[in-house]
Amino acid sequence: MKRVLILVEGQTEETFVRDVLAPHLLPLGLALIACVVVTKRINDGSKFKGGIVRYTPVRNDLQCLLRDSSAACVTSMLDYYGLPKDFPGLATRPQGNCYARVEHVERAFAEDIGHRRFLPHLVLHEFEALLFTDPSQCSLSFSTEEITKLQAIRASAQSPEEINEHPDTAPSKRILAVSPGYQKTLHGPLAVMSIGLPAIRAACPHFAQWLSKLEALAEG
């Protein structure tokens, strides 16, 4: 059994790894362990987790995880939308579509970490994009009226990952505009589990590429 450590942004992503990704990869011989980024440490030893406002805590946590030589791979599941300004590659992103831009940042991220066992992954554009894969399956999280509105948003983009990074129209902002009662840590995992990993993979090419790389670890 190979261990894969995933640095995640918060509780929602941690639940996604535990309840959706891990059961998919376990039969392949991969044991996934989610680790929430520590954003602050204080003198008494307390730690604050979740949310990223600076790159340094991300780098520090990854370097710590990579010191675990028993892990076959260390990867990440961080939102591309809202990355701190000091994140590698962010200031030098090329013109072009969102896929070219996120891949540029991921390459810079990998170069900065500089470790062969690190596999960078940034979610386009944030976790909530996955919910737009098939809103019709999200009745546990949204009302019928809300689902209809979410489906209209989904129809406006070629893929859920292309629902953009503008502060007013990012995936989470669009969901909150439709459903003000949306709670990320409660409704997000429920919606994603209802949609299912195969549908998400088919609709989200950047996510699918990452998942394929994780699956390939089992063959190496």
Q: In total, how many domains does the chain have?
A: 2
What range does the domain containing 34 cover? 2-124+204-217
The pLDDT value given to residue 45: 41
Task: Please provide residue 56's backbone torsions phi and psi, each rounded to the nearest 5 degrees.
Answer: -50, -45
3-state secondary structure of 73: strand
For position 39, what pLDDT does the model report? 62
Half-sphere exposure of 41 (CA within 13 A, CB side): 9
Same domain, 134 and 79: no
Residues 18 and 102 in one domain: yes
Q: What is the DSSP string of 140-189?
A: TTS-HHHHHHHHHHHHTSSSGGGS---TTTSHHHHHHHH-TT--HHHHHH
Token pair in block for residue 87: 């994140």
The continuous run of DSSP H or E covering 98 comes out as helix 98-113
Q: Which residue has the higher pLDDT, 96 or 182?
A: 182
pLDDT at 185 over 50: yes
Rounded distance, CA 83 to CA 88, Å? 10
Confidence check: pLDDT of 20 > 60: yes
Model confidence over 58-83: pLDDT tens digits? 999 999 999 999 999 999 999 999 99
pLDDT digits (tens, 9 = 90+) for 129-174: 999 999 999 999 999 999 999 999 999 999 999 999 899 999 999 9
Task: Assess whether 7 and 71 both reside in one domain.
Answer: yes
